[in-house]
A and B are shown apart, each in its own frame.
Chain A
Amino acid sequence: MSEMLERLHRLAATWGPAGREHKMAETLEDLIQPYVDEIEIDKFGNLIAIKHGIPGKGRVMLAAHMDTVGAIALNVSSTGLIHIAPVGDLKAHHAIGQRVVWGSGAVGILQHEPVSEAKDVDLKKLWCDIGATSKEEALENVRLGDICVFAGELQQLGDALAGPGLDNRAGCAVLLEVAEHLTDPNVDVAFVFAAQGEIGPRGAGPAAYRLNPDLALVLDVTSAGDVPKGPRVEVKLGGGPALKLKDGGYLAHGPLADLVARVAAEHKVPLQTEIAVGAGDRTDAQVVSIAGQGVPTAVIDIPARYRGTANEMVNLRDLHAAADLVLKLLSSSLELG
């Protein structure tokens, strides 16, 4: 198994919804620690690891959010059913029947009131059944405020991978791959595994404020358009990483986007162009780019099918190409003119 795949399996086995990233941070710290000079978890819960470059040459921030969507416990019925609200963009129709795991380790099943039509499916009608038969029994295993995430292992399907939480374990795996292969960078490279990317995004902003980098690259996943009635975007699974030019909350920094495209072309790294029509998938770039005095920020997205479901799908070739592109960028001149 490749290092990348091994790391992905380990990340997938780690529980880490938005707002509860401490276990993910521990796993990531363990994985990145051999390759960096400094490492810490900041006040917001972001994991920040820095590899030193030549002093005075500047600093690049590489960011990937490390949290996943989930559901938070808000109420427990007298029969022991846990009523929930979404953490991040959880869709009710993706959740029905799924197996989930809570922070306490308790396992449950998400279920929904009977409906006659699909359009009546609603998060408010969803609950989690952990097998308890009374309120007290349920609360012994799950407290109000606890969060659950989709359970499940990664499944390899040829070059593709399917499983829960690949948004954004895929981005995290790319950063780890970059860290492993980055030798003697000119610039300081700050790897930021950001907290609370699925709500807001939030964590990456304070991290960028503190690091004050000269530029930033955000690694995330985006919905590929190559499925029936998929999003209207010219991005395919396996077609290479996608350079995001626009989504609902971010517009690319022109000169930096040009630079990324140029470096990809020079080194023959396949690169797709992502222009979201409508809101699109938001990323940490939205808050990183306006932190402090402003940070020119580019987004390199891993195409994914079935985002937000218990079986998101990415292609390993895209992850390798993304890591390759980031490494090529870090060894290029990053002058934006």
Chain B
Amino acid sequence: MLLEKLSNACGISGYEDEVRDILRRELQEHVDEMWIDTMGSLMVRKGTGPISVMLDAHMDEVGFLVGAILDDGYVKLKKVGGLDDRVLPGRQVWLTQKRIPGVIGAKAWHLTSPDERGKVIPFDQMYVDLGCKTRQEVLDLGIEPGEPVYFATTFERYSDKVVKGKAFDDRVGCTIVATILQAFSHPGLTIYGSFSVQEEVGLRGAKVAAYNLNPDLALALEGTGSANGAGVDPFDTITNLGDGPAISLMDAAGFPNLQVWEQLVKLAQESGIRYQHRRLITGGTNSGGIALQRAGIPACTIAVPCRYIHTNASLLNLDDLQGAVSLVDHFLTSLEKGDFRP
């Protein structure tokens, strides 16, 4: 399963090589052209039709870089992307692309003061223990400041529908775009698959990709937060796992293009694809960055709900993923048939 392979691959912002290599292999036979841009984003083209569509998904995930290496062999970390300090202690990690195992330790509970027990462990007191005794031992493993560090989480099926893994934000988007390119044909269009880098540090790869591709319009495929866990007011769940893909209303990076948005909603309703709206306006997605390129590019975000996003492990519902694939396919068909012009 492609999502499993992609989720298990390691690729924090700026170090997306593993993810890119998987996608290159998967797509080689399904696209007409493939290249890597200056920032490391994988670009593919399928078809030469008169309307060009960019389908963007970002390859990078949140994680860490190796910071200072201490004399006694511990390794300090620097965060890449938005991470909640509360979920970090006690996690297993992989250091460097060689996947050298380490753990983020924490002082034994027994040794903490009552005061400490009620508080979040501050990030600057966290470190990785590799089992090394000296700084030199760490260096000898090929670990130096600036090397990537990943959550060591393995993909798992919890049920027929629900799967667990790391980096669903945005390997689920990569899966959707790859599936569209592999399984569907839209000869009336030029479809650009944009597997972009560095979304988590500021929507960076997709901006550059959109400038280069200069498409007629763009869809960003994303993983988004979902909070429909126990005890959450239904108003505050952002999105619900299993209620279908979320069509963005607005986010911190701006509004979706209104016409594209209307068309997506219309198609979902007509073809009976279950969908929802993301009921939160904070957090930015690549479509906001894409929209501002050159003289403006119409763009909209479709996202798959993921519970516990931006942690070491999140959950998603495969029906939501399938719904997103179906919605994008219907949208491309409507563009191809000329039912809709940007």
Q: Which residues of A contact B (CB under 8 A)?
A: 18-20, 22, 42-46, 72, 74-75, 77, 83, 85-87, 144-145, 196, 199-200, 202-203, 205-207, 209-210
- Whether B295 lies near A19 (C-beta < 8 A) is no
A-chain residues with CB within 8 Å of residue B254 when the two chains form the complex: 19, 196, 199-200, 202
- Whether B261 lies near A209 (C-beta < 8 A) is no
B-chain residues with CB within 8 Å of residue A42 when the two chains form the complex: 295-296
Taking A85-B281, A205-B292 as contacts, is the C-beta distance between A72 and B249 under 8 angstroms? yes
Contact with A along B274-316 (1 / 0, CB 8 A): 0001011100000000011111111000000000000000000
Taking A19-B255, A87-B250, A145-B261 as contacts, is the C-beta distance between A74 and B279 under 8 angstroms? yes
Taking A19-B258, A87-B250, A202-B254 as contacts, is the C-beta distance between A74 and B292 under 8 angstroms? no
Give Cα A83 to B291, complex, Å. 27
Nearest-neighbor residue (CB-CB) of A18 within chain B? B255
Q: Tell me if B109 counts as interface (CB < 8 A to partner A).
A: no
Nearest-neighbor residue (CB-CB) of A44 within chain B? B296
Closest 5 CB pairs of A and B: A44-B296, A19-B255, A206-B296, A210-B295, A145-B249
Nearest-neighbor residue (CB-CB) of B261 within chain A? A145
Nearest-neighbor residue (CB-CB) of A74 within chain B? B279
A-chain residues with CB within 8 Å of residue B298 when the two chains form the complex: 43
| CB interface residues, B 223-271, toward A, < 8 Å | 235, 249-250, 254-255, 258, 261
Nearest-neighbor residue (CB-CB) of B247 within chain A? A145
Taking A74-B279, A199-B254 as contacts, is the C-beta distance between A44 and B291 under 8 angstroms? yes
- Whether B295 lies near A44 (C-beta < 8 A) is yes
Give Cα A85 to B296, complex, Å. 25
- Whether A75 lies near B279 (C-beta < 8 A) is yes
Give Cα A75 to B255, complex, Å. 17
Give Cα A145 to B248, complex, Å. 9
Nearest-neighbor residue (CB-CB) of B250 within chain A? A72
- Given A22, A145, A207, A210, which contacts B250 in the complex, CB threshold below 8 Å? A145
- Whether A144 lies near B249 (C-beta < 8 A) is yes
- Whether B294 lies near A209 (C-beta < 8 A) is yes
Given A18-B255, A144-B279, 19 other A-B residues pairs in contact with their CB atoms under 8 A: A19-B255, A19-B258, A42-B295, A42-B296, A43-B296, A43-B342, A44-B296, A46-B296, A72-B250, A77-B235, A85-B250, A85-B281, A144-B249, A145-B250, A199-B254, A205-B292, A206-B292, A206-B293, A210-B294
Give Cα A43 to B255, complex, Å. 13
A-chain residues with CB within 8 Å of residue B255 when the two chains form the complex: 18-19, 196, 199
Categorize the interface residue count of chain B: 20 to 34
Give Cα A77 to B342, complex, Å. 34
B-chain residues with CB within 8 Å of residue A44 when the two chains form the complex: 291, 295-296
Most B CB within 10 A of own CB, among A18, A43, A86: A43
B-chain residues with CB within 8 Å of residue A46 when the two chains form the complex: 296
Give Cα A196 to B255, complex, Å. 9
Taking A18-B255, A19-B258 as contacts, is the C-beta distance between A83 and B235 under 8 angstroms? yes
A-chain residues with CB within 8 Å of residue B281 when the two chains form the complex: 72, 74, 85-86
A-chain residues with CB within 8 Å of residue B250 when the two chains form the complex: 19, 72, 85, 87, 145
Give Cα A22 to B292, complex, Å. 18
| CB interface residues, B 8-51, toward A, < 8 Å | none
CB-defined A-B contacts under 8 Å, sample of 25 = A19-B250, A19-B254, A20-B258, A42-B295, A43-B295, A43-B342, A44-B291, A44-B296, A72-B249, A72-B250, A75-B235, A85-B250, A86-B281, A144-B279, A145-B249, A145-B261, A196-B254, A199-B254, A202-B292, A203-B296, A206-B293, A206-B294, A206-B295, A209-B294, A210-B294
Give Cα A116 to B197, complex, Å. 48
Give Cα A75 to B277, complex, Å. 10
Give Cα A25 to B228, complex, Å. 40
Give Cα A97 to B249, complex, Å. 25
B-chain residues with CB within 8 Å of residue A200 when the two chains form the complex: 254
B-chain residues with CB within 8 Å of residue A45 when the two chains form the complex: 258
A-chain residues with CB within 8 Å of residue B291 when the two chains form the complex: 44, 202
Nearest-neighbor residue (CB-CB) of B294 within chain A? A209
- Given A22, A145, A209, which contacts B295 in the complex, CB threshold below 8 Å? A209
- Whether B294 lies near A74 (C-beta < 8 A) is no
Most A CB within 10 A of own CB, among B255, B258, B261: B255
* Closest beta carbon of chain A to B36's beta carbon, Å: 26
B-chain residues with CB within 8 Å of residue A206 when the two chains form the complex: 292-296
Give Cα A46 to B296, complex, Å. 10
* Closest beta carbon of chain A to B232's beta carbon, Å: 13
Give Cα A22 to B262, complex, Å. 15
B-chain residues with CB within 8 Å of residue A20 when the two chains form the complex: 258
Taking A19-B250, A205-B292 as contacts, is the C-beta distance between A43 and B261 under 8 angstroms? no
Give Cα A144 to B275, complex, Å. 13
* Closest beta carbon of chain B to A90's beta carbon, Å: 12
Nearest-neighbor residue (CB-CB) of A287 within chain B? B292
* Closest beta carbon of chain A to B254's beta carbon, Å: 6
- Whether B258 lies near A43 (C-beta < 8 A) is no
- Whether A74 lies near B295 (C-beta < 8 A) is no
Give Cα A42 to B249, complex, Å. 21
Most A CB within 10 A of own CB, among B292, B295, B297: B295
- Whether B277 lies near A145 (C-beta < 8 A) is yes
* Closest beta carbon of chain A to B114's beta carbon, Å: 31
Give Cα A43 to B293, complex, Å. 11
* Closest beta carbon of chain B to A79's beta carbon, Å: 13
Give Cα A302 to B20, complex, Å. 51
Give Cα A74 to B291, complex, Å. 22
Nearest-neighbor residue (CB-CB) of A145 within chain B? B249
Most B CB within 10 A of own CB, among A19, A75, A145, A206: A145
B-chain residues with CB within 8 Å of residue A209 when the two chains form the complex: 294-295
Give Cα A19 to B251, complex, Å. 12
Nearest-neighbor residue (CB-CB) of A78 within chain B? B234
A-chain residues with CB within 8 Å of residue B258 when the two chains form the complex: 19-20, 22, 45
